[in-house]
Structure formats: structure tokens, C-alpha cells
Structure 1
Amino acid sequence: MIQSVLRSALGKMASIPREIIQKHNKLLVDLCDYIDPKDPGYTNFITSLRNADLPPGRLSRVENEPAKLFQLMEQKGKLKVGDYGVLEEALQNSGNDEALSLVRRLGSEITKEMAGQGLTTSSAAEETVQERDISPNKRVITVAETTQELDGSPSKRIKPEPRDASDIPKKRYYDRENKRGYLLILNFTKDREGTELDVSNLKKFFEGTLNFDVDDPREDRHNDFSLSELNKVLEQTRELLNFRAKKFYCFFCAILSHGDEKGILCDDGLYKTIDEIRTTFANDKMRNFVGKPRVFLIQACRGTTTQQGHDMADDWPTDIADVAGKISVPTDADVLMAYATTPGNKAWRRENIGSWFIHVTISVLEERHLHEHVEEMFVTVKDEIAKDEKWKTASGGRMMPCTWSTLTQRLMI
């Protein structure tokens, strides 16, 4: 239960009585019962906290665990004994009236008790918060005394020296002002029912929502690309991006395919590896595009797990090994490789929705792109596909997307 996870340990708070601190902790424990990350308004709750300057990286790691989220708020001074303003605003923005009512009612009681003893919220300004270990043989004293284990031996916390703000590097973002993005879709359709939905979803979001230039060279063809035709498409795209680099701030390439350990199998029986596609757009081959991010979305199997039920794997019907191919570690900067699955495993799709990976990726990007950078959003993609019960084959098989990145700045799209 969440109640067994929460209860932040408050350190040096000698001026605040034990009873008030206990009420504060009880408020946070009770509040966890009213907050469900699956509620429709929860996204607005997190967005409000993001606007309150909570660190986005740490926030994304705990945003689906209210207990740890409150702990982060305490650590960053956004939640103190008797001061629930940031929390109330976030709950109000999320439309969670029950949780808001609870905070206002109990928070008001705590504030009144503090006022009656001549205390203000500034009394909690120097509090120290640490994660509580609620194991059977331990307890933590949350009053003006040292954190202790049950046997009485103290475990003292040392407050770190404050860090000068000038020593902390500023967050940097890729420049996209007055520029557009570019998406190339490499779609191989043979024996890949449902891939047309992936293409439709990609176009709808990247072209319709983000106003990207989108190129789908397979759209007006009857057959998939031969190796020479694929090479020509890649070279033409590279030349366009390099020649018109001032127009574009980023390049996305969606690869929807079958294949094996040799790479993507083209229509003429020849292969193209993911590594060869990536290096086509390396810095040394498009000097004018240096410093601009390139993102590859790779919907393809990477192993030989047997397909089950209505879920179809993106290997060939004749049990071949590895769609994504053997990719060496990229040495050029500003590249993000996003794979549908880890090596040795299949990437699944369904006729009625397309591939799991592209479907969830587009859903997450649509929901979060205004507030989160690309790498942060892919954490959510990985979390949803790995843990949500609906992304499971009839036999219980799972899929674990993975990313590899040399992005040097944060990419907003």
C-alpha cells in the first residue's frame, strides 16, 4: 500500500511540536488514497507541478507514485508543514475536488494550530527530508530529534553545503525558433497488416499537429523498395536536409519493417542495416545539419519469440532472427535511436491499431509534447508498454522498448 511507502522523515524541526508534524504526515498519507495517476485530470496535476519549477527529470521518475512525489515536493520546498499552496493549486487544476477538500480542511487545522503556538510556515523552511524505510524492525521519529533505528543507534544526517547557482549549468534546448521539423517514413508493407495505421498516425501527429514536413515515398508505390531504391531515397533526403538546413531544426525517421540479423530485407532480397541508415545522416555527411537532432523510430523485431493470438510479430513468416540488425554504438552527436524492443525479442503489432510501439509513442507525444522533451517522453513510452496490462500477448508475452541517445541538448517538438 502507498501508506507503507510514504511518511517523509522530517529532520531538524525543533520549533514544531510532534503533534503537528504527525498531522502533516497523516494528511499526506490520507491524500494518497484520493489521488490516482490513472484519473483523466492527473496530467493537469503533474503539469501544474512542473510549472511550479519542480525538476522535470526527477518529477518524471516519481510522477506516478504520489508518495514519492510528495517527498520530492518537500525536498524542493514546495510542500511544508502548514504550507499547501502549491499542492492546492495543482489539485484544483486537476479537478480533484475530494483531494482538494481534504487538503484545505486538514491543512487549515494544521495552520490554525501553528498560529495558536506563534508558529508560521517559515518555521519549516530549514526542514530536512529523507526517504523513510518502513521495515518491520525499524521506526523513524519525525520530531525535533535525530532519526533513529529501533535499537537506539543514531543515524545522523549532514546537511550539504549550499551550491552557488552560478555553478549549476543551465538547461539547454535545441533551437527551433522559426523552423520546422522533417519526418521521413520508411514503410515496408509486405506481410505487415496494420502498418497503414502506423503511417496514418505518424502523419496525423507530425504533419497535422506539429506542422512537420512529412515524406512517405512508399505512398504511391505498388511494391516495397529495392535496396538501390531505398539508397536513393536516403541520399535524396540527406541532400534536401543539408541544402535546406536553415528551414529545419530536427530530422525524424520512422522505420516500419521486417528483417533479420543482416538488417532490413528489401524487395529484391538485399539488405540495409539500421546502422547504415543512421550513418547516412551522420555529421560528416551533412555539414550544414551539424548540431541538429536526428531521431530514429525503429518498429522492428530483434529476436525470434513465437507470435501468439491476435498479436503479430515484425519478423518474416519464415522465422528469421533480427530485424533491427547489429548496430554499432553511434559515435556522432545529436542522435536518438528509439527501438520497439530490446535485442533478442520480437516487436508486436495488431491489425486494428498498428504496432504497439508506434501507437503508444504517438499517444504519449500527443499528450506531453508541450511540456516535456523527447527523451523524457520516451521514458513514459517504455513504462507504459512494459507495465500496462493491455500491452501483452495472448500467452502473456511482453515487450520492452529501449533508447540509445547522444543528444547533447533537450529536444522539444
Structure 2
Amino acid sequence: MIDPEDKPVDHEEATVDDPDALGTRSKMIWPTISEKNLDSSISKSGQTREEALSDRYKMDYPKRGKAIIINNKNFDFFMEAKGYKTRHGTDEDACSMKERLQYLGFDVEMHRNKTCAQMMDILKQAAKFDHSDADCFVCVLLSHGEEGVIFGVDGSLEIRNIFNLFNGENCRTLVGKPKLFFIQACRGCNLDKGVSVNVADGSTTPLEEDEIRIPSEADFLVAYSTVPGYYSWRNSQKGSWFIQALQFMLLKQGTSMEIMKLMTKVNKIVVQDFESNTFPSLPSMHQMKQTACICSMLTKDLIFTPKECPMEIDT
């Protein structure tokens, strides 16, 4: 049985009093890391200046990078009393994502049933890690949730606090590198009944500055299993719809397709191939749909080009 989881361009300089003006390339208010030249941070992240200005992320560092999977299945008594029950099927999600990420060359750390404090400790250590010889960083969070929060086994944790650990201010060796977060969790309690679709047949200008400065919040991709306010669906035997689709596409085209195109195909699978089947036990939740929500702050194309010896897995 399927279980729900829980204006024209203004070319004048913009000022704080004129937040809608786009302005020119200015040293005034572009978000920066402590208003400092980022050349030193680029050096710490292992990039040359040419690589930092490229249209594609550098993916030929010695290592692919670290991947953290936090899989919360069983919750404490107080959480269960609030309705946050055991998440049957999440182990399938965790195992399949571990295999796919290892296949792509990641060094995967698996963590199970962690409190909020433990989750933050794990991720703080990951943010402090030296990523200068790595392509990127991945975090997979599998748990109950609500809008803006993810649950540890003992309570809620603001997702924004997790992201902040890896921004340019706090994780210098990942500056200019992709930081990917895949979050399988509810974001509310609404249900999507879906709508019918009627189907018919039918036939750069170079930078003028001497320094490179980028926003500290750049180079993130956050993929939520569902949109704000809605349930996220999980099959108690096969795992969640979102992770099933994601691991399938990572295996099929993970080393050849640009990540945003790949995530669009993931969403297509979730939208077209899945529908809840809870009749007759829960007729009010029968034939429900879901769509993933992909939020990108990436600044370049990202393709997990194969390392020399990717790990082989049975399919």
C-alpha cells in the first residue's frame, strides 16, 4: 500500500533604495562573500580563473566528492504520538541512492535515524571537510517534513539552516562548485487530485573587473520531492515516487545528461507514471498525483562526466 509522506532593464547603478533596478556590472551591491575578492576562495576550491569563468562546471578533479545520505525511518515516542510513524520503504530509497551515487563516483556516507542535533553535527563536519580536490557535494535527506523543515527522529530542523552550512561564507572549498540537495519529505498535508489533459493528434561580454565575485548563495540545486503545501508519496515496498524516478534517471543518463534536463525528466516520470492506489482502505486518498519541485541556483551546466573507473553495479 502507498503511504503519503509524510520592467525594462535599468542600466543605471542600483542602490539599496532602488531594489528593482537591475543595474550594470557594479561593485556596489552584487552579493559577495564578506565583500572580499573571491580569488582566494577560488584558489581554495581548487579552480583556476579560467575554470571559474567557464559555462560548465569542472568535473575532472581527482575526486567526484562527498555524498551524505540521512535516512530517518523510525521516530521517537513523542514524534509518533504526533502522527509521524515509521517510514516503510525508505530503506529502499536509501540503498538505491547509495548505489547510484557510488556509480557516479561519490564517496557516500549513510546515516540512519538521527536526531536534529546529530543531523546538524554530520552536516557541519561535511561543510568543514576540505573539498578542494572534489567536483561537488551531494546531500540526500529522507524523512518526514513540513514546509521549510525536515524532521529528525526527535523534532524539526529548518532546512535553511542546513543550506547555510554550505554557502560561500561557511564552506570556502565548495565556492563555485555545485552543491546538490535531494529532499524526500512532505511539505504540507494537501493532496493533489490531478487534472485531465485533453490529448489530440497533430502533426558574453568579458568581465571588466580585475576580480571574480559571486553570490554566496550561488551554485545550489535543491530538488524537493513535492511542491510547498503537499504530501509526498512513498510506496512501503518500492520506496518513494521521487526517489524511484531519480535513481532511474541517474542510472540511465546520469553521466551524459545535463542535470537540469535530467531533473525535468525525473519530474515527468513522477507526474506521468505514478498515482496513488489506496482503494478501498483509504478512498479519500485514492488516485492522487504528485509533482516534484526543482529549485536551481546553479550558474553553469552540470554533467557528471565519468571518472576513469566508475563503480559497476548490477541493474
Higher RCO (CA 8 Å, separation ≥ 6 residues): 2
**Could you tell me the TM-score, scaled by structure 2's length?**
0.63
The residue type equivalent to 2:106 in the other structure is F
For the 8 Å contact 2:168–2:216, the answer to whether it is kept is no
C-alpha deviation, 1:368, in angstroms: 1.2
In the aligned structure 2, how far is the partner of 1:233 from the partner of 1:185? 10
Judging changes above 3 Å, is the alpha-carbon distance between structure 1 residues 410 and 296 closer, same or farther for their aligned structure 2 residues? Answer: same
- Which residue of structure 1 lines up, in the alignment, with residue 88 of structure 2? 193
In the aligned structure 2, how far is the partner of 1:250 from the partner of 1:376? 18
C-alpha deviation, 1:228, in angstroms: 2.0
For the 8 Å contact 1:179–1:246, the answer to whether it is kept is no
Judging changes above 3 Å, is the alpha-carbon distance between structure 1 residues 344 and 307 closer, same or farther for their aligned structure 2 residues? Answer: closer
- Which residue of structure 1 lines up, in the alignment, with residue 162 of structure 2? 277
Structure 1, residues 41-84: CA drift from partner, whole Å, max 9, x if none?
xxxxxxxxxxxxxxxxxxxxxxxxxxxxxxxxxxxxxxxxxxxx
Query: Could you tell me which of 352, 369, 372 is aligned with 2:237?
Result: 352
Structure 2 unaligned residues grouped into runs of 5+: 1-52, 75-85, 194-214, 279-285, 305-315
Q: Which runs of 4+ in 1 moved over 3 A?
A: 305-308, 390-394
In the aligned structure 1, how far is the partner of 2:170 from the partner of 2:54? 28
Aligned Cα root-mean-square deviation (Å): 2.2
- Which residue of structure 2 lines up, in the alignment, with residue 172 of structure 1? 55
Structure 1, residues 285-312: CA drift from partner, whole Å, max 9, x if none?
011210010010010111213699xxxx
For the 8 Å contact 2:148–2:187, the answer to whether it is kept is no
**Could you tell me the TM-score, scaled by structure 1's length?**
0.49
C-alpha deviation, 1:374, in angstroms: 0.9
The residue type equivalent to 1:175 in the other structure is K
Larger radius of gyration: 1
In the aligned structure 2, how far is the partner of 1:365 from the partner of 1:210? 8
Q: What SS is found at the alignment partner of 2:70?
A: strand
Query: Could you tell me which of 222, 245, 248 is aligned with 2:134?
Result: 248
The residue type equivalent to 1:238 in the other structure is A
- Which residue of structure 2 lines up, in the alignment, with residue 118 of structure 1? none
C-alpha deviation, 1:182, in angstroms: 1.8
For the 8 Å contact 1:183–1:213, the answer to whether it is kept is yes
Q: What SS is found at the alignment partner of 1:367?
A: helix
The answer to whether 1:263 aligns with 2:154 is: no
For the 8 Å contact 2:65–2:106, the answer to whether it is kept is yes
For the 8 Å contact 1:356–1:391, the answer to whether it is kept is no
More helix by share: 1
In the aligned structure 2, how far is the partner of 1:412 from the partner of 1:172? 12
In the aligned structure 1, how far is the partner of 2:54 from the partner of 2:178? 16
For the 8 Å contact 1:293–1:407, the answer to whether it is kept is yes
Judging changes above 3 Å, is the alpha-carbon distance between structure 1 residues 331 and 402 closer, same or farther for their aligned structure 2 residues? Answer: farther
- Which residue of structure 2 lines up, in the alignment, with residue 409 of structure 1? 300
The residue type equivalent to 1:204 in the other structure is E
Matched residues, number = 212
Identity among equivalent pairs (%) = 32
More strand by share: 2
- Which residue of structure 1 lines up, in the alignment, with residue 171 of structure 2? 286
The residue type equivalent to 1:226 in the other structure is T
C-alpha deviation, 1:262, in angstroms: 6.2
The answer to whether 1:211 aligns with 2:105 is: yes
Judging changes above 3 Å, is the alpha-carbon distance between structure 1 residues 366 and 171 closer, same or farther for their aligned structure 2 residues? Answer: farther
